[in-house]
Structure 1
């Protein structure tokens, strides 16, 4: 006992306080969650910047940007009247090369550690592999957003024009940015499933071939064709049709693409070990969204769509509205109602030079399409047989204006469009061209543009909204001479001799004499 007491010290007998426990943050607490989210976003920002330094990303985005700018600046007359249900779809194929660049570069970013032999070092980091996968997915979002801005700028440029026709579809406009997003996520998933630098090349080739096949299937009315992320129109850009005749489930297709992006992202997370409850819930929601998009794209009431297309082609008067100006009626599909004033201006200009009853004849200008060979196909519209009816198409501006003027003049001179099927080897052709060119601000240029051969000499074919009209070399010579004479003199002679100038019995040479120009010396060669 004495020995034990000798070993006792004040420090040993004093009461010992428990050691201070280190500060520990419980996993899943708000503070820890914020720190993890901040680290994940920091990594996503880093990967976004790394992608920005890739030559492929910069090059193909720059090409896409230059293409859009050129589309905006280098435009023709018809671009003053853009049909917006074609403009929205025109934005979809443009960023395809950029999408491929995003896929390849994101795939390389995910495989960067494997390439440099630093994969093992990630095992000592606090961030789990599936969170790093989330960061790679998030790095694609800014590039999808840039594409969306580019699409919006291109569409608004056309939509804000005074002559814009119809309206676009938000679903169609969403396809391009969703395609970029899908490409980036596919790059992440490929890196997790097949960690090889050759995988993106093989995938792109196979995917493109499948997309072409699917687009053809969609054009043929097969529902599974819409499982392709991008569906190329079969006939576009043919003549536009009303939006309700397209039969494109654009909204549901955008939902399908959005769900597909989420599904691929979830598969990549699950492959990376992210089997948390949240990931499983998001996967279930993504699958449900994709399934809803697929079901929404299934054909619904296809018979009604076909009936509507036939009605628009065969009996357009049943689905059109009309406006009356100075006794003439102008009938169009609802989306083209704003262009009727322009049609009326052309009719007034042409009819003001006519004589006899034609000067006051009431015309019916009717918009016509032909969907028998498919919507937006390059089809032939039969000339109308109804007296006083003039056909106008769904494109306007540029060369379509003088072509419509030829159609108006033909009906004023001959009574119907049906006569266009025959070559008018007589005075009527000269009269028609005077009506078209007499009040035109640039008659020589218009004369050239309205002919198929872009010439004002020799024989040629005049373009109209329906059929062409053959024009002989002698008729071209007489028309050119008329344009050199004083306008008032020729206009007075046309009205004075209107009956003779609109008769099939009056030859071209006789028409020249009546109009006070030199008669052609060569014999008329009809059917040239």
Structure 2
């Protein structure tokens, strides 16, 4: 009887409009996450539970409505005349959640397989982290069934969903300020680092204990529901066991979370093994974390575009391009910020994450500007480090070099300049996705000059740059002098 009911409830749940809409939204969120950046698979797995939240919310409400169906249809008295207790019907509603969780598993597997097919994908996903998303879907559906029996009113499911979303929003908003152990008692535990870690081990997340914690929560809710409808002894016994597992797993995950002693020890051990692999191409040395060497061609393409347009002496000067992860928490990473740096002779730093699609132009622009800054020996602080209208002479040319041969970078430069125009005078751009003393800071004066150069034939500008390179790279040169040499209007700053 239970198996037949489970088949019927499964079919009804899978084609419920809420579940179908939730599935579509989850597919869209996962697609956005995969296409936003070149995949780092050991960081992508952390995003799957969040992407599955629409499906989880839909499972909660749909399962709650299915459990309340007999009450809505005024069929409770009819069911009371039938042999057997309500336990088989509750078991059928709970069993119907398993195929929904399997749909979530299939969605995650398809998304990771698609991401892994990217030629620049790196890393290895954690199966434990990937499993958390489908288990959250199962937990949400179980909560819906439990509410249908424990609080049999139509608004209980939607209110529970709203409450869950509010708690998740609070976790996302103030997560870094919460103690490392407390955070893990939430169903969703995002990672708040601004850049993807170079290795999944460095995350030091207690994903295994958290998975046990979520499964025990779902089992406890199911057991409590079964106890409520008649199977009191077995239900309460199962609830007691599940509660003990929840407490044990909760304590274990809190003790192993990043920021704790155990988490810090694992992170320190893992980071000690992250020795970068370096490879030389002409006069440029590229250093990447193990496994990330496949992304060196992305950096080489940007570097080549810039150095092909500068004089031979500058193009042959030694340059280092170094990959560096930035972590938000010193205690959980062992290192914060970027490599120590204080001038144009420092290595060019690229982040672990690398954008894809339209947003890639902004990262290529920033890398190109950093390379041009080293070629021109520009001071680390552009307009911000000068008095009045005396920014470095080569500032506009540096922006032009980064954008002239890259349509995406050129579009990014024009977009940044538009922001500067809209904001009025005084706003400066730091040329990096991370802050560093070696970043070239540029403002509207440099941006306007670069756009004017982009609107002219490249061959003409290259000739002028070559003729006046000494001025553009001179420490005492000014942007006004560069404007005269390049036949541009005097800068307004």
The two structures share one fold, judged by TM-score above 0.5? yes
Q: Mark the CA change 1:53 to 1:439 in structure 2 (over 3 Å): closer, same or farther.
A: closer
| Secondary structure class of the residue paired with 1:334 | coil
Aligned to 2:376: 413
List per-residue Cα deviations over 1:301-348 (Å, max 9, x = no partner): 734755888999xx9998544333224322233353322232223222
- 8 Å CA contact 2:139, 2:218 repeated in 1: yes
| Secondary structure class of the residue paired with 2:348 | strand
Provide the C-alpha distance between the structure 1 equivalents of 2:464 and 2:176, rounded to a whole number of angstroms: 58
- 8 Å CA contact 1:84, 1:164 repeated in 2: yes
Q: By how many angstroms is 1:407 displaced? A: 0.7
- 8 Å CA contact 1:47, 1:136 repeated in 2: yes
Provide the C-alpha distance between the structure 1 equivalents of 2:484 and 2:96, rounded to a whole number of angstroms: 78
Aligned to 1:178: 135
- 8 Å CA contact 2:138, 2:218 repeated in 1: yes
List per-residue Cα deviations over 1:412-435 (Å, max 9, x = no partner): 211664668525624222432343
| Secondary structure class of the residue paired with 1:165 | coil
Say yes or no: does 1:358 pair with 2:314.
yes
Provide the C-alpha distance between the structure 2 equivalents of 1:211 and 1:433, rounded to a whole number of angstroms: 41
Q: Mark the CA change 1:367 to 1:117 in structure 2 (over 3 Å): closer, same or farther.
A: same
Q: By how many angstroms is 1:283 displaced? A: 5.7
Given the alignment, which residue of 411, 416, 429 partners 1:445?
A: 411
Provide the C-alpha distance between the structure 2 equivalents of 1:454 and 1:149, rounded to a whole number of angstroms: 45
What's the TM-score once normalised by structure 2's chain length?
A: 0.79
Given the alignment, which residue of 460, 477, 481 partners 1:506?
A: 477
Provide the C-alpha distance between the structure 2 equivalents of 1:114 and 1:446, rounded to a whole number of angstroms: 58
| Secondary structure class of the residue paired with 2:292 | helix
- 8 Å CA contact 2:39, 2:122 repeated in 1: yes
Q: By how many angstroms is 1:43 displaced? A: 0.6
What's the TM-score once normalised by structure 1's chain length?
A: 0.75
Provide the C-alpha distance between the structure 1 equivalents of 2:209 and 2:132, rounded to a whole number of angstroms: 11
Aligned to 1:469: 441
Provide the C-alpha distance between the structure 2 equivalents of 1:213 and 1:454, rounded to a whole number of angstroms: 33
List per-residue Cα deviations over 1:232-283 (Å, max 9, x = no partner): 45x47x3333334434322321221122212221222233333677x78866
Aligned to 1:26: none
Q: By how many angstroms is 1:135 displaced? A: 1.1
| Secondary structure class of the residue paired with 1:391 | strand
Correspondences of 1:288-327 after superposition (within 5 Å): 289-300=245-256, 302-303=260-261, 319-327=275-283
Q: By how many angstroms is 1:185 displaced? A: 1.4
Which structure 2 residue ranges, 5 or more long, are not aligned?
A: none
- 8 Å CA contact 1:170, 1:251 repeated in 2: no
Say yes or no: does 1:87 pair with 2:44.
yes
Aligned to 1:50: 12
Aligned to 1:188: 145
Provide the C-alpha distance between the structure 2 equivalents of 1:470 and 1:443, rounded to a whole number of angstroms: 16
Say yes or no: does 1:227 pair with 2:185.
yes
Which structure 1 residue ranges, 5 or more long, are not aligned?
A: 1-38
Provide the C-alpha distance between the structure 1 equivalents of 2:284 and 2:324, rounded to a whole number of angstroms: 17
List per-residue Cα deviations over 1:58-107 (Å, max 9, x = no partner): 443344445556767xx5xxx35133344323322334343333223323
Q: Mark the CA change 1:162 to 1:482 in structure 2 (over 3 Å): closer, same or farther.
A: closer
- 8 Å CA contact 2:213, 2:245 repeated in 1: yes
Provide the C-alpha distance between the structure 2 equivalents of 1:505 and 1:435, rounded to a whole number of angstroms: 21
Provide the C-alpha distance between the structure 2 equivalents of 1:109 and 1:496, rounded to a whole number of angstroms: 78
List per-residue Cα deviations over 1:127-168 (Å, max 9, x = no partner): 443222211100111212222222222333223211223333
Q: By how many angstroms is 1:505 displaced? A: 3.2
Aligned to 1:329: 285
- 8 Å CA contact 2:431, 2:442 repeated in 1: no
Aligned to 1:480: 452
- 8 Å CA contact 1:322, 1:329 repeated in 2: yes
Say yes or no: does 1:338 pair with 2:300.
no
List per-residue Cα deviations over 1:345-383 (Å, max 9, x = no partner): 32222122222642221112223344356789xx98698
Provide the aligned length of Structure 1 versus Structure 2.
Answer: 470
